[in-house]
Structure 1
Amino acid sequence: MDLLLNADGIHASHDQRRILKGVDISLHRGEILGLIGTNGAGKTTLMDVLSGALRHDSGLITLSGEKYGPDSRDEAQACGVGIIPQNFRLDPAMTVAKAIYRGTFQSDKPHEDLRGPALKLISDVGMDLDPDATVGTLIRAEQTLVEVLRMVAEEAQLVIMDEVAASLPDHDVAALHQVLRMLVNQGRAIIYITHRLDEVRSIAHRIAVLREGKVHKVLEASQTDVDELAFLLLQQKPAGSSRPTEPAGNDEALRVVALSVDDSVRDVTFSVAKGEIFGLLGTHQSGVYHLLETLVGIRQSTSGQVFLHGRQVHIDGPEAALRLKIGYLADDAGNVDATTSIAKGLREDPPDADLEDEISGLRGVIDLVRRMRINTTNIHGTLTTLSGGDRQKVSLAKWMTTGCDVLILSHPSRGIDIGAKDVVYQMLNELRHTGVAIILMSSDLTELVSWCHRIGVVRDGELVTIEANANTNEDVLVYHMLGSAAASGNSNARRLKS
């Protein structure tokens, strides 16, 4: 195979803290290299070096046989290296067509000229996107698909994808994998970062395990399994979770009755008990996001009622939701203010806090950092010094300690490593035992089945079923989520598993 990239003895630092400690890695044209590691292992730092966002301290990188060390993302792109970072941000006013071609020689063309090529590209790769839509109207999963199409349009020879599938439902992951195979068949190479170990086995040729700033081991994907990968990551067997099969109880915390949101959500009724983890599942066009955003005041319902502890409430905005003790962790929680400290990200002290309160608060912060395995040596450093997964942990931990009666979580484990997922599950269980009602939306079917007492499936704006955990499995959930597409044996309906 034709060697495209070779990195030898790469060292790199962030804020005078050494992150990479001698990374050796190689990649051939037509190859997908899976890269896995716990949060803080150095994955994002390595990708920053390869994509020009960070200069490495020492070591040698060659690209197509030439010495490579870009000073910026633009310079890396000019050399044929493209990246989708974990916490990317897009201009909300830009159309999908403009966003796809923004990094190409066609970037200066008006939307009208790019609409046709964008429509053809979307059709060629089998995705469902409107080239005329503005990015700001898309949910996170749809924005991710836009970024994948940008990689196709830019014709990058080395494509780096950092947790691109974290919020994608299984059928979109299958479509993404088709695009990846198309890219490598064109002779391109891909570095694919994910915490989904079953997924990386199904798509990668080789898998590199990054641990404490070094490549610990490189394995042939076809000759390993999820258990071995998990053990290599954690150096121990994951604790896992016990599937909840018992009913959560009858003490109702939240009830939604005949709720409708324009044409997106129609006549949805369900309830969540105190101490219950209630799962929600649906494709990105199913209306499930509109449903959640209505419960936290981001959108307004057009009809129906919401009851909290038996009393009807009107949630006319996010502030009203907070006053009612309804918390919401959104999909883009990893996007943080560059000036916010880790300590403040984990805990907001009241304005009248005295010294004793501050000391107690800092002790709580330190305990959370240790418990959630947040990789930092300075809790007063900014959140931007953390890896993407550790930023997600901070956002999640803050919501889990705010004293909400109802906590709504959208993809809470996005970008979080397998060991930290065990901790998240333990904390959710502790929360529910205090009577908190939890609504958990996730595209990870295994997570929903492992964590939730009941799972509601939204399709075409309607709540088509609520499945008790004891009576369901991933196949049943896929069937309800995709409807006729699953029944007709659509090859995109299931993620490839081996």
Structure 2
Amino acid sequence: MPAHPSPVDTSHPVEVVIAAAAPAVTLRGITKRFPGVVANRDIDIEVAKGTVHAIVGENGAGKSTLMKILYGMQKPDEGTIAVDGSEVVFSSPADAIAVGVGMVHQHFMLADNLTVLENVVLGAERLHGIRDAARTRIRELSTAYGLDIEPDRLVEELGVGARQRVEILKVLYRGAKTIILDEPTAVLVPQEVDELFDNLRELKSEGLTVVFISHKLDEVLSVADEITVIRRGTTVATVRPGEVDARGLAELMVGSELPSPETRESTVTDQTVLSLEHVTLRAADGRDVLSEVSLQVRRGEVLGIAGVEGNGQSELVETILGIRKPQEGTIRLQGEDITGWSTRRRREAGIGYVPEDRHRHGLLLEAPLWENRVLGHQTQRPNVRGPLLDRAGARRDTERIVRDYDVRTPGIDVLASALSGGNQQKLIVGRELSGEPVLLVAAHPTRGVDVGAQAQIWDAVRDARAAGLAVLLISADLEELIGLSDTLQVILRGRLVAREDPSRVTPESLGASMTGLGRGEGAA
């Protein structure tokens, strides 16, 4: 017979020891050097399981490099990475995915000529095949997380917001347990941000870990459990939301207060620079993507266009630029009918353009900065002398842009790909405001840039407006739209449906108008 257990000694309390769960991710002493620069220096971060951990810092602070290291895209020169308590060495993103680390990039990694399904399964064909089972799984994930993605749509047909959701879907499809989200709210209106954050909290409660990179400090404070601040390549603080406010975070990041997009004095004149009259644009299937659009932008005015992504904003921009030709209506620039003009002729007539996706439409990433200065202005001074390219003139003007717009770079022969996102954007804004344009079409001009670069771009737009520039501003940042705009119009399903007063509207009421739930001051 088994021996009787010894009686328990109840004279002393029993101490129960519960082992703490290993962190989802631990980075220790991460250092990464490139020629002439140390991108990361002795970085230490610990991300607890089942939490949202935010990483903040100005552009060029080293966040992107650090995330590429965590995702296996680059190897650190020094330091260690541990996932779930076990040290790992990543040689490629496949190694990171294999241990449950996925990343949604700020600039999407999608093939435009493939469907959503093909993009999602590419490289993961063994999980659910490439047809029916994969399609079923994609629809399950899309429904479960409210992504509203149709597997058989071509990616080239999707707007920026939908492309982002495809990227999130790719990561979920591969079974990631730790997801790196780089600027995930850049294309969302306030209601959609709230929905995303609700989803993140639900996923967090189920054990998912999120590393959240953002420049929107109020969002970081509302969703993060912990916040790590990186400045000049090294970690300077890890705080909890209750310990700091947005102003304090900004000070940790850049040593200055949060910028404001507020524009005070009016500079609007009665001189119309751009007018659209009953412009209608149809897709190949005959559907109206722009319907009876009429608007005016005057000298010294910023006209803001608010709308949920995919409601015709991109098509409106491309129609004004001449990339698309409307089936009906008239477009005039300073009174002259330009409806039939080419894009080049419109640009030469004084239309500047800040595109919504700087990598796809704004820059040649593998070209030096001075060549990017020429891009889109190759028939105009100072880039040409007669019929020939004026290299010396282009180089001198690039140096001026770098100086005047605080583009942080070792020199103008550096490749555009080597610049941080904020410095790339400042280069584009400087280029487009050069040459005395009469109209600036600015699509999401501060998307994915830090508070410092954001303030500089706002200042540049304000200064140009005060000098008489007409600006058509399209942005998903409602504070930016309200703060910079003299006039606000709402676009919904390709129609201008409401006009709002920037001095009275709130982001919440503007968001309601954008989704068709609210009413503006009247039809536009």
On whether the aligned pair clears a TM of 0.5, the verdict is yes
Q: 1:268 to 1:244 in 2, by over 3 A?
A: farther
Does residue 424 of structure 2 align to residue 404 of structure 1?
A: no
Are 1:70 and 2:97 an aligned pair? no
Q: Take 1:266 and 1:467, find their aligned partners in 2: how far apart are those partners?
A: 20
Whole-Å Cα distance in 2 between the matches of residues 184 and 101 of structure 1? 25
The equivalent residue for 1:314 is 339
In the TM superposition, what is the alpha-carbon distance from 1:318 to its structure 2 partner? 2.8
Paired residues, number: 486
- Shift of the 78–353 alpha-carbon distance from structure 1 to 2, 3 Å rule, reads farther
Q: Deviations over 1:89-108 (max 9, x none)?
A: 31112211232333534478
What one-letter code is carried by the residue in structure 2 that aligns with 1:211? Answer: R
- Paired residues of 1:244 and 1:453 also in contact (CA < 8 A): no
| Compared CA separation, residues 60 and 396, structure 1 to 2 (3 A) | same
1:290 corresponds to which of 308, 315, 322: 315
- Per the TM alignment, residue 282 of structure 1 is displaced from its structure 2 partner at its CA by 0.8
Is 1:365 the counterpart of 2:401 in the alignment? no
- Which of 417, 432, 456 aligns to 2:450? It is 417
Matched, 1:4 2:24: yes
Are the structure 2 counterparts of residues 353 and 93 from structure 1 closer, same or farther at C-alpha, using a change threshold of 3 Å? same
2:135 equivalent in structure 1: 115
Matches of 1:103 and 1:196, distance apart in 2: 33
1:53–1:72 contact (8 Å) kept in structure 2: yes
Range that drifts further, 445-454 or 83-92: 83-92
Q: How does 1:46-445 map to 2 (within 5 A)?
A: 46-106=66-126, 109-244=129-264, 246=266, 248-262=268-282, 263-315=288-340, 317-335=342-360, 336-347=363-374, 350-352=383-385, 361-445=394-478
Task: Report the CA distance shift for 1:318/1:169 in structure 2 as closer, same or farther (over 3 A).
Answer: farther
- Cα displacement string for residues 383-411 of structure 1 (whole angstroms, at most 9, x for unaligned residues): 11112332222223222224322111111
Checking the alignment, whether the CA contact within 8 Å between 2:383 and 2:394 is kept in structure 1 is: no
Unaligned runs of 5+ in 1: 488-498
Name the counterpart of 2:491.
Answer: 458
**Residues 1:45 and 2:57 aligned together:** no
SS of the aligned residue for 1:264 comes to strand
Identity across aligned pairs (percent)?
27
Instruction: Give distance in 1, aligned partners of 2:346 and 2:32.
Output: 43
Residue 114 of structure 2 aligns with an amino acid whose one-letter code is M
Query: Residue 363 and residue 320 in structure 1: after superposition, are their counterparts in 2 closer, same or farther (change >3 A)?
Result: closer
Secondary structure at 2:503's aligned position in 1? helix
Query: Which structure has the higher relative contact order (CA within 8 Å, separation 6+)?
Result: 1
Assess if the C-alpha contact under 8 Å between 2:444 and 2:476 holds in 1: yes
The structural deviation recorded for 1:228 is 0.9
Query: Residue type of the partner of 1:376?
Result: T
Shift of 1:303: 1.1
Q: 1:93 to 1:111 in 2, by over 3 A?
A: farther
CA distance in 2 between partners of 1:319 and 1:111 (Å): 43
Task: Please give the per-residue CA displacement for 1:139-167, whole angstroms capped at 9, x wherever unaligned.
Answer: 22210111111122111122111122223
Cα offset, 1:21, TM superposition:
1.1
> Residue type matched to 1:230 in 2?
A
**Structure 1 residues 249-258 or 114-123, which shifts more?**
114-123
The CA deviation at 1:38 is: 0.7
CA distance in 2, matches of 1:54, 1:29: 24
State the one-letter code of the partner of 2:39.
I
| 1:233 to partner: Cα distance | 1.4
Report which stretch shifted further, 73-82 or 456-465: 73-82
Instruction: Quote the residue 1:495 is aligned against.
Output: none
Deviation per CA, 1:334-380, whole angstroms, max 9, x where unpaired? 344342112332456524399xx766654543443344443322331
Q: Does structure 2 retain, via aligned residues, the 8 Å contact 1:295–1:315?
A: no
Report the AA paired with residue 81 of structure 1: V
Instruction: Give the TM-score taking structure 1 as reference length.
Output: 0.91
What does the per-residue CA deviation read over 1:160-209, in whole Å, with 9 as the maximum and x for residues that have no partner?
11122223333332333233234323322111111111111111111111
In the aligned structure 2, how far is the partner of 1:107 from the partner of 1:180?
24
Q: Deviations over 1:304-360 (max 9, x none)?
A: 111111122214543343233223222211344342112332456524399xx7666
Q: Tell me the residue number matched to 1:491.
A: none
Distance 1:318 1:452, change over 3 A: same
Cα 1:45/1:373, change in 2 over 3 Å? farther
Counterpart amino acid of 2:350?
A: K
Cα distance in 2 for residues equivalent to 1:71 and 1:35: 23
Residue deviations 1:441-473 (CA, integer Å, cap 9, x gap):
001110011111111101122111122323423
Q: CA deviation at 1:51?
A: 1.0
Does the aligned pair in 2 maintain the 1:34–1:207 contact within 8 Å?
yes
Name the CA distance, whole Å, in 1 between partners of 2:292 and 2:281. 9
State the distance in 1 between where 2:502 and 2:94 align: 49
2:500, 2:140 → 1: CA distance? Answer: 39
1:338–1:273 Cα change, 3 Å: closer
For the aligned residue pairs, the C-alpha RMSD in angstroms reads 2.5
2:500 to 467, 482, 493: 467
Aligned to 2:514: 481
* Corresponding residue SS for 1:381: coil
Q: Distance in 2 between matches of 1:239 and 1:109?
A: 49
- Encode CA deviations 1:56-94: one digit per residue, 9 max, x unaligned: 111122122222221112222222221122222311122
Name the amino acid aligned to 1:395. I
Letter in 2 for 1:3: P
Q: Is the 8 A contact 1:246 1:470 kept in 2?
A: no
Task: Indicate how the Cα distance of structure 1 residues 330 and 109 shifts in structure 2: closer, same or farther if over 3 A, else same.
Answer: farther
